[in-house]
Amino acid sequence: MLHCYPGTPKMALEYADMGYLISITGVVTHRTARGRGLVEVVKKMPLEKMVIETDCPHLTPEPFRNERNDSSNLKFVAEEIAKIKGIPLEEVAEVTTSNAKAFFRIK
């Protein structure tokens, strides 16, 4: 798993082809160059290769940027991914949860 993925879509796809998961943080909601870059990653990355994370206490999504992050903010990351990909929030939650469970071997 690539924690707090900061790279390009091209590299993300290469990592995905190698079997890695790409971890998406609250940065995807930021209206910064880094946030826009992560939006491009989400657009091109298959959902089956993504997980979402808080990176507590940092990388809080909008509208709580610069506040302490916690797992209650994961919904904002999932909502942004759903918006970017044009898919239901429930699908994002289901697939990314399944990906995390498989990675951490949680039944």
The arithmetic mean of pLDDT across residues 23-38, rounded, is 96
Topology of the domain comprising 9-104: TIM Barrel (3.20.20)
33: Cα within 13 Å, side-chain hemisphere: 1
User: What is the rounded distance in angstroms from the CA atom of residue 81 to the CA atom of residue 101?
Assistant: 19
Q: Is the dihedral of CA 68, 29, 71, 12 positive or negative?
A: negative
Query: Model confidence over 3-25: pLDDT tens digits?
Result: 999 999 999 999 999 999 999 99
Report yes or no: 50 and 84 within 8 Å, Cβ to Cβ: no
60-96 per-position pLDDT tens digit: 999 899 899 999 999 999 999 999 999 999 999 999 9
CB contact at 8 A, 15 and 2: yes
In this prediction, residue 95 carries a pLDDT of 98
Two tokens at 45? 């990355």
- Predicted pLDDT at 73: 95
What pLDDT is attached to residue 37?
A: 96
pLDDT attached to residue 28: 97
